[in-house]
């Protein structure tokens, strides 16, 4: 589905919800907006800011978080695991993290829960240069692909190969860190890399001047949740109104950014020295928009999750060995704060 079609469907989903976004938690909830006072809130991202994060900056600029009583400070992250742990330890109020890392850390005793996944289709993909001759999964036979041990795209790669009708031994994997993967691909040391299609790909294309092709996991029917909002168990129990306000404000900010992508990306200008150029940010955000749709429900209000999608994600991650066993969704996700509304 095209970004434009997805955008229209998401806007329709938000419209169909009426005032549910502003009514489910905003106004007088949480940070004391009823008396004009704001609550200082820190949010740690999963990584350095890139286009996916535009809604947070746009939400601050447009006063969406302030309307919900929140004075939001956005911090760069250094990987979803560190964000999950920092949130669980109370070093930040909320985190933005990849669901596989969230579930894995919960199983290891980190005291957090998801309070709403926003990227409901995985952006995981094999990324190759368009002129490489690799256009279909079967073209990967004999290729060398850069991976990063332990991350979700790499750990679930065998499931992708199986779904594509390939064997794990058909592809040579070269273990590199995130920056090393991109450099190796651009220098021709590997034929491609595994990562988030809406993140690395646009950056590689801009820096190399070459088009990038994506062999998406979802194209072969492999799907699982990606990035979303997390809170510590103590935050959930001690200040549920603030959690509700944060989820509602984030949902509104994402809906607004879907409707106004250029303005949303412009709100990121100058916010971090490691941020990509504006053109790359816009491509990254436009690449994020289709990921907001539910695999089973289609266009939904951003951050609204279904039990069916949660169960499917848990099953995939258990099969991949990222979590030990498939536990009930409630062990990982607190649905109390989810915004309502979906497209028919």
Summarised one tens digit per residue, pLDDT across range 183-232 is 999 999 999 999 999 999 999 999 999 999 999 999 999 999 999 999 99
Q: With bands split at pLDDT 50, 70 and 90, how would you rate the model's confidence at 23?
A: very low
**Average pLDDT value over all residues in the chain:** 91
Q: With bands split at pLDDT 50, 70 and 90, how would you rate the model's confidence at 22?
A: very low
- Looking at domain 124-220, its CATH class is alpha beta
What are the beta bridge partners of residue 175?
Answer: 147
- The answer on pLDDT for 28 being more than 60 is no
109: left (phi > 0), else alpha (psi -120 to 50), else beta?
Answer: left
Q: Directed axis angle between helix 80-88 and helix 99-107, to 10°?
A: 50
pLDDT, residue 8, reads 75
Structural domain boundaries in the chain: 3-121+224-337, 124-220
pLDDT, residue 343, reads 37
Lookup result for tokens 């900056």: 57
pLDDT, tens digit, for every residue of 52-64? 999 999 999 999 9
Q: From the CB of residue 187, how many other CB atoms can be counted at a distance below 10 Å?
A: 9
Q: From the CB of residue 307, how many other CB atoms can be counted at a distance below 10 Å?
A: 13
Structure-token pair, residue 88? 């669980």
Is the C-alpha dihedral spanning 184, 187, 192, 197 positive or negative? positive
- The answer on pLDDT for 162 being more than 50 is yes
Lookup result for tokens 């031994």: 169
Radius of gyration (C-alpha) of the chain in whole angstroms:
19
Q: Directed axis angle between helix 178-186 and helix 200-208, to 10°?
A: 40
Whether 3-121+224-337 and 124-220 share one fold: the answer is: yes
d(CA 17, CA 272): 34
Q: With bands split at pLDDT 50, 70 and 90, how would you rate the model's confidence at 131?
A: very high
Q: DSSP secondary-structure letter at 343? A: -
Q: What angle do CA 8, 114, 338 make, to 5 degrees?
A: 50
Structure-token pair, residue 205? 């294309």
Q: With bands split at pLDDT 50, 70 and 90, how would you rate the model's confidence at 25?
A: very low
Q: Which helix (H) or strand (E) holds 184?
A: helix 178-186
What is the fold, at CATH topology level, of the domain defined by 3-121+224-337?
A: D-Maltodextrin-Binding Protein; domain 2 (3.40.190)
- Does the predicted TM-score (pTM) go above 0.95? no
Q: With bands split at pLDDT 50, 70 and 90, how would you rate the model's confidence at 30?
A: very low
């Amino acid at each position: 589905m095209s970004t434009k079609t997805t955008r229209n469907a998401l806007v329709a989903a938000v419209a169909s919800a009426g005032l549910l976004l502003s009514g489910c938690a905003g106004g007088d909830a949480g940070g004391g907006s009823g008396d004009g006072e704001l609550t200082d809130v820190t949010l740690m991202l999963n990584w350095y800011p890139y286009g996916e994060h535009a809604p947070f900056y746009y939400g601050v600029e447009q006063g969406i978080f302030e309307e919900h009583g929140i004075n939001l400070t956005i911090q760069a992250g250094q990987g979803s695991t560190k964000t999950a742990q920092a949130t669980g330890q109370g070093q930040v109020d909320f985190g933005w993290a990849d669901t596989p890392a969230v579930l894995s850390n919960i199983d290891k005793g980190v005291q957090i829960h998801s309070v709403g996944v926003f990227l409901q289709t995985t952006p995981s993909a094999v990324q190759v240069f368009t002129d490489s001759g690799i256009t279909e999964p079967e073209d990967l036979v004999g290729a060398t692909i850069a991976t990063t041990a332990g991350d979700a795209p790499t750990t679930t790669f065998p499931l992708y190969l199986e779904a594509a009708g390939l064997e794990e031994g058909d592809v040579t994997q070269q273990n590199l860190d995130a920056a090393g993967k991109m450099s190796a691909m651009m220098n021709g040391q590997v034929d491609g890399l595994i990562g988030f299609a809406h993140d690395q790909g646009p950056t590689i294309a801009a820096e190399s001047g070459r088009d990038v092709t994506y062999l998406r996991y979802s194209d072969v029917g492999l799907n699982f949740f990606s990035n979303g909002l997390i809170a510590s168990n103590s935050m959930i129990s001690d200040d549920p109104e603030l959690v509700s306000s944060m989820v509602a404000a984030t949902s509104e900010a994402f809906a607004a950014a879907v409707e106004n992508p250029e303005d949303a990306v412009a709100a990121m200008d100058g916010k971090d020295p490691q941020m990509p150029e504006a053109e790359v940010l816009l491509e990254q955000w436009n690449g994020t928009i289709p990921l907001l749709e539910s695999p089973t429900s289609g266009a939904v209000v951003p951050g609204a999750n279904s039990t069916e999608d949660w169960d499917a994600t848990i099953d995939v991650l258990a099969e991949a060995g990222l979590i030990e066993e498939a536990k009930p969704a409630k062990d990982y996700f607190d649905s109390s704060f989810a915004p309502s509304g979906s497209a028919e």
